[in-house]
Amino acid sequence: MSDLFWPGDERAGDLMTSSALLAAMVRVESAWLTALVGAGVAPAAARDDLEGLVGPADVEALAAAAEPGGNPVIGLVPLLRERVGDRNADAARWLHRGLTSQDVLDTALLLCARETADRIRRQLTAQVARLAELADEHAGTVMAGRTLTQHAVPLTFGLKVAGWLAGVLDAYDPLVALRWPVQLGGAAGTRAAWMELAGGLGDPQQVAEALAADVATRLGLAPADPWHTSRAAVTRVGDALVACTDAWGRIANDVLTLSRPEIAELSEGTGGGSSTMPHKANPVLSTLVRRAALTTPQLAATLHLAAAESVDERADGGWHAEWGTLRTLARHAAVAGSQATDLLAGLRVHADRMRAHHDEAAEDLHAEQRTMASLAGHDPSGAYLGTAGRLVESALARARRHLHQHPDQHLEENR
């Protein structure tokens, strides 16, 4: 994946690529075939390992084969049958039996999305760690607070960072609360084919339930009743990812504002160059993070529309609108998360400039204080930083709890 239209896209690596989806679909087919054999529905001879039978080189042909049936499973099943059939006719015969395209695609999509969510969870934890450092370090760094672009009352940079931290932690919660249910329903969600296949095996209902449970276990997903037309599993992923870009977008906006040369209270670790102006050091990471935050909410809206447009036992377009939209949303979020991590890691804080602006604007920044002191009947009491220290401490405590619960999560590389 090299995308000249979305600089930084390669940070998302293989997340939600066509190759990754293909591999996930094969995992699902493989788990199902194994379960069929395990349950005694298919003969032991049908057991086979499908991994490696198809790969990135097949994507082009499978994409072309996807359109006539409307989804990429349509071409995959015969291809797998053909390839595995060369060595194992039973596997070819039993492969996919009892599934429908949507089972394979929905489950594979969630496998890919979960991988994205895991990546982003680690990014968020790394950010929590870095933000806690920054908030702690700058708990006493005085700066001008600004509301509606104008000077308000004094602030500490630590408190501003505590706000960023709160945003990141708020984004973490729904991400870990995501459910990853397996989708297994057969042609119209009744699992009728399973019962038919299991006709002679004791209690077919039990066989059916065992099949679903076995596949879920093999894939590490939650067992679930079919959700082919109840799409909360998908919309929640979208909402959770947008909550992340919301949190990062707000940080980016603050960095962009405070790194304006007339303010210059922050700067990115490495500024971005220009194709024509040799002096330039642009806040590129913030710019690219902000870009994502402007883009993802509308993608998540499309996922909701797709969910709302469910109808019958498989939607005529609503379902199909999900896949590419979720892919783009997920990759944009993963890229932005990685960029935000780098942004924070390299962020340079110019406490002297913060102090200077604060001092220059002291008259205005303390106007409210004078009113309050007059009201309370005493002279203004000094720094006018309120409970900033305690609020920073409160945010740090929350961060520490988070890091304690997720001790190693942020040690992995930022991609």
Question: What element of type H or E holds 53?
Answer: none
From the candidates 314, 327, 331, 338, which is the catalytic residue?
A: 314
**Nearer CB in complex with a second copy: 85/272:** 272
| Pairing label, strands 266-267, 150-156 | unpaired
Question: What element of type H or E holds 265?
Answer: none
Q: Is 141 an interacting residue with respect to a second copy (CB under 8 A)?
A: no
Residues in 180-209 at the binding interface with a second copy, rule: CB under 8 A: 186-200, 205, 208-209
Residues in 106-125 at the binding interface with a second copy, rule: CB under 8 A: none
**Nearer CB in complex with a second copy: 179/411:** 179
- Judge whether 274 counts as a catalytic residue: yes
**Nearer CB in complex with a second copy: 126/175:** 175
Site map for a second copy, 257-296, x if CB under 8 A? Answer: x-xxxxx------xxxxxxxxxxxxxxx-xxxxxxxxxxx
Q: Do residues 99 and 186 lie in contact, with contact meaning Cβ atoms separated by under 8 Å?
A: yes
Residues in 46-105 at the binding interface with a second copy, rule: CB under 8 A: 59-60, 62-64, 66-74, 77, 93-94, 96-101, 104
**Nearer CB in complex with a second copy: 85/386:** 386
Torsion over CA: 76, 222, 322, 125 (sign): negative
- 205/45 Cα distance (integer angstroms): 24
Phi, psi of 255 (to 5 degrees): -65, -45
- Judge whether 230 counts as a catalytic residue: no
- Shortest separation between residue 257's beta carbon and a second copy, angstroms: 6
Q: Is 170 an interacting residue with respect to a second copy (CB under 8 A)?
A: yes
Q: What is the Cα 413 distance to its own chain's centre?
A: 16
Q: Is 4 an interacting residue with respect to a second copy (CB under 8 A)?
A: yes
Give the number of residues in contact with a second copy, rule: CB under 8 A. 183
Question: What element of type H or E holds 392?
Answer: helix 388-405
Q: How many residues does the chain have?
A: 415
Residues in 371-390 at the binding interface with a second copy, rule: CB under 8 A: 371-373, 375-376, 378, 380-381, 384-388, 390
Q: Find the binder of a second copy among 124, 254, 343, 350 (CB under 8 A).
A: 254
- Shortest separation between residue 350's beta carbon and a second copy, angstroms: 13
Q: Which stretch binds a second copy (CB under 8 A): 45-53, 123-131, 160-168, 401-409?
A: 160-168
- The neighbour count for residue 375, using CB atoms within 10 Å, is 8
Vertex 97 angle, CA 25 and 316, to 5°? 65
From the candidates 274, 374, 381, 394, which is the catalytic residue?
A: 274
Name the residue with tokens 């959700």: 227
Which letter does DSSP use for residue 381 in this model?
A: -
Q: Do residues 229 and 313 lie in contact, with contact meaning Cβ atoms separated by under 8 Å?
A: yes
Q: Is 225 an interacting residue with respect to a second copy (CB under 8 A)?
A: yes
- Shortest separation between residue 53's beta carbon and a second copy, angstroms: 16
Following DSSP, what letter does each residue of 124-138 receive, concatenated? HHHHHHHHHHHHHHT
- 34/41 Cα distance (integer angstroms): 10
**Which sequence positions are flagged as catalytic?**
274, 314
